[in-house]
Amino acid sequence: MGFLTIFLFLVSALYSVKAGTLSAVANAVTECGSSAVTLVIGMCGAMAVWGGLVNVANESGLSELLTKAMKPLINKIFKGLNRDSKATNAIALNITANLLGLGNAATPLGLSAMKLLEEEERAGDKPTKNMTLLAVINACSLQIIPTTVAALRLSSGSRSPMEILPCVILVSAASLLVALITAEVLEGGR
């Protein structure tokens, strides 16, 4: 990520000199910090509320109940994890929230899963394979019902906003599969 960020910035800066957009880029440099802060402030309320609700579910034992059904699938993708570990529970909740399209709930759940994976697999400076897989799964769209896009289609006057659903499910599933296979191949080399 570090290299990519540096590379993208340098390319943009060079191009802006040629295109005459240098002042726009200069403004962007100063403003991007506040946009990151705005993003986090926008997120932190939801992170607190969902973090709180999830901890209620954890302490009452509800999480365990919910994740039982997901576990066989999770243990197929995330190899070498203890079935009953906290990380497995968190991953199950994260994937459930993603499938339901609850992005605001999925992120805090995914981040705590990431931290639990780090702890349980004793990761140092290098991410473990399971940490990479979790990030990859979340970087793909798992949402079954595309509510935001459908809402946008409806407001633009579509006759059938949800007609894209079969296409979305097919394309999402195929791209997730390709991403997971790529990750497996890349990780296999270690």
Partner 1 sequence: MDVSSVIVVGIVCGILIYGLIKRTDVASAFTKGAEDGLRTAFGLLPTLCFVTLSVAALRASGILEMITGLLSPLAGRLGIPVQCLPLALLRPISGSGALTLLGEILKDCGPDSFAGRTASVMAASTETTFYTVAIYFGAVKAKRSRKAVIAALAGDITAFFLSVFAVRIILG
Residues 112-151 touching partner 1, rule: CB under 8 A, are 112, 114-115, 117-118, 123-128, 131-132, 134-136, 138-141, 143, 145-150
According to the binding rule CB under 8 A, does residue 52 interact with partner 1?
Answer: yes
The string of DSSP codes covering 95-106 is HHHHHTT-HHHH
Q: What is the DSSP letter of 90?
A: H
When asked if residue 82 is in the footprint of partner 1 (CB under 8 A), the reply is: no
Q: 59 vs 76, which CB is nearer to partner 1?
A: 59
CA 97 remoteness from chain centre: 11
| Positions in 1-20 near partner 1 (CB under 8 A) | 1-9, 11-13, 15-16, 19
Pick from 62, 82, 83, 84: which binds partner 1 (CB under 8 A)?
62
Identify the CA nearest to 87 among candidates 99, 74, 69: 74
Nearest to 70 by CA among 53, 105, 95: 95
Q: Does 99 bind partner 1 (CB under 8 A)?
A: no
Among the residue ranges 67-75, 79-87, 153-161, the one whose residues contact partner 1 (CB under 8 A) = 153-161
Least Cβ distance, residue 131 to partner 1 (angstroms): 7
Q: Is 77 in the site for partner 1 (CB under 8 A)?
A: no
CA–CA separation, 48 and 11 (whole Å):
38
CA–CA dist 35, 15 (Å, integer): 23
